[in-house]
Structure formats: C-alpha cells, structure tokens
Amino acid sequence: MKFVIDMNLSPLWVKVFEDEGWEASHWSNIGAISATDVEILRWVRENEHIVFTHDLDFGAILTATQAKSPSVVQVRTQDVTPEALKDLLVTAVKQHEAILKTGALIIVDEHKLRARILPISR
C-alpha cells in the first residue's frame, strides 16, 4: 500500500509506515503546501495512494461526492504524534487492508475504530 501523509500531520509518520513495509510520502514532498483537499484527493486517486489525515474535510468530500476512491485513514484524537498513535494506527490499517485497497474511510480514535466502504451513503 502507498500512503500520503497530509500536511496536518508530522513527516515523522513516514517512517512509521515504511517500518511496516508500506510506501509513504509526506504531502510537502509531493505537492504545494497550499493545495486544497480536493487537489490532494485528485492526486491521491490518480496515483493510487491512500490519504492519512487529521482533517475531517476528506470524509465530508467523499460523502458529498459519493466517490468510490481514494481511501482515507482519518485520526480523530488530540495527540496525533506517532508516539501516541503508532500501535493503534498500524492495527487499524492491517485490520482493514482489504477494504483500503478497494475504497474505504477508516476513522481511528482512542476508543473505537470505524470503517466505511466507499461510496458512503448519505
């Protein structure tokens, strides 16, 4: 799997993904730091990556557009550092690997994990 780490998360996440054998790049190494979420989603879809973000807008865009891709992994916690979330995130991605490859929104927080297959019904 190939991931793009959104601008609102630390580039330190790249190593976490790479340590698991997944490809990862921080958006700052790919595109303009001022890129909109729609532009990021377009690039991710065209390049067959998965977005890793702390931004709620990605889920809203997927829902509003009824998009079938790309997959998004969204963390909804206060502490979004790799030290705090690494184990939780890795478990979530491994648990939902199959649907991430076909199109899903995975929402991770300290208390629960939610997975929605794309497209998301309103």
Q: What is the CA radius of gyration of the chain?
A: 13
102 falls in which pLDDT band (50, 70, 90)? very high
Q: Tell me the whole-structure pTM to 2 decimals.
A: 0.95
Per residue in 73-100, pLDDT tens? 999 999 999 999 999 999 999 999 999 9
Q: Give Cβ neighbours of residue 8 (< 8 Å, ≥ 6 apart).
A: 53, 54, 55, 80
Give the HSE-up count for residue 72: Cα atoms under 13 Å, Cβ half-sphere. 30
Q: Which of 47, 80, 42 is nearest to 58 (CA)?
A: 42
Per residue in 12-34, pLDDT tens? 999 999 999 999 999 999 999 99
Mean pLDDT of the region 60-76: 96
Q: Could you give the domains of the chain? A: 2-117 (3.40.50)
